[in-house]
Amino acid sequence: MKVFGHPMSTCTRKVLTALAEKGEKPDFVVVDIMKGEGKTPEHLGRQPFGRVPAIDDDGFQLFESRAILRYIDETRGGGTKLHGEGAKGRAVVEQWVSVETSEFTPQAMKIIYEKFFHPMMGKPTDEAVVAAARTALEKVCATMETQLGKTEYIAGNTFTIADIGFMPYIEYLFAAGQGDLFEKFPKTLAWWKRISERSSWKTATGKG
Ligand SMILES: N[C@@H](CCC(=O)N[C@@H](CS)C(=O)NCC(=O)O)C(=O)O
């Protein structure tokens, strides 16, 4: 499978984690989004919004990281099954993928932009944006904490695409000096420590 992505990109890292869980080494093609390579006609042909990642699996092209995760899980038989069992198990995974997509990530990205990317680009940090996003994120973490008091992983007792979805954003929150957010949520913190020790994550983030 060809993966068109960037090693620092959150969404690319999800795809690389899923492939590593399946024991598959991708043919990785760097699209340097920092240098505008996402907006070339060639890449726009693969990803019409000019973003990464996109894949090409023997001629089958797909973009949107969460769709790619499902595709990898269904088409790669080896390694970890990254879904829940039965209608209920799968629905719970989808529920947490939605929580990640619509509740967690938008708030996390506000903080990451203000505290990680803006300082890197020499732009000022808007502390009011950070404070509001932290308050919103704490509410999401409280819900995750309740869940992680009942199950080992976010959508049950096995590692799934729902766990993978949260990982790159939590990594960047720590890199942005915001890891203290999780101090009030010991089960969530323990879950993060557990999943970030997986060799698939280390492979995806270049630490493996
Ligand atoms: N919904 C898309 C989001 C992809 C996305 O935002 N990718 C970022 C990198 S993590 C990107 O390509 N940014 C460059 C740009 O938007 O120009 C997905 O899940 O694949």
Residue 91 sits in the same domain as residue 190: yes
**Residue 87's pLDDT band (cuts 50, 70, 90):** very high
The last residue of one of the domains, among 18, 43, 75, is 75
Residue whose tokens read 């096995």: 158
Q: 29-38, 51-60, 74-83 — which is least confidently predicted?
A: 74-83
In total, how many domains does the chain have? Answer: 2
Above 90 in pLDDT, residue 77? no
Above 80 in pLDDT, residue 75? yes
CA angle 192, 197, 203 (to 5 degrees): 120
Residue 112 sits in the same domain as residue 193: yes
3-state secondary structure of 17: helix
Task: State the closest ligand 1 atom to the C-alpha of 11, by its place in the atom list counted from 1.
Answer: 10
Task: State the closest ligand 1 atom to the C-alpha of 63, by its place in the atom list counted from 1.
Answer: 20
One-letter identity of residue 137: L
9 lines ligand 1 (CB under 6 A): yes
Protein residue closest via CA to atom 11 of ligand 1: 51
Residue 101 sits in the same domain as residue 194: yes
38 lines ligand 1 (CB under 6 A): yes
Can you read off the two tokens belonging to residue 152?
Answer: 């080992």
**Residue 121: inside a domain:** yes
CA of 8 to the centre of ligand 1 (A): 11
d(CA 144, CA 126): 27
**Residue 81: inside a domain:** no
Q: Which of 6, 11, 49, 161 to mutate to test the pocket of ligand 1 (most atoms within 8 A of CB)?
A: 11
Range of the domain at 125: 86-204
Residue 155 sits in the same domain as residue 99: yes
65 lines ligand 1 (CB under 6 A): yes
SS3 content of the chain, % helix, strand, coil (to 5): 60, 10, 30
CATH number of domain containing 123: 1.20.1050.10
Residue 109 sits in the same domain as residue 9: no
The last residue of one of the domains, among 34, 49, 75, is 75
CATH number of domain containing 57: 3.40.30.10
Residue 135 sits in the same domain as residue 155: yes
3-state secondary structure of 55: strand
pLDDT in tens, 143-194: 999 999 999 999 999 999 999 999 999 999 999 999 999 999 999 999 999 9
Cβ neighbours of residue 152 closer than 8 Å, sequence gap 6 or more: 158, 191, 194
**Residue 80: inside a domain:** no
33 lines ligand 1 (CB under 6 A): yes
Can you read off the two tokens belonging to residue 74?
Answer: 């269904």
Residue 102 sits in the same domain as residue 194: yes
Nearest alpha carbon to residue 100 among 70, 134, 71, 66:
66
CA of 63 to the centre of ligand 1 (A): 10
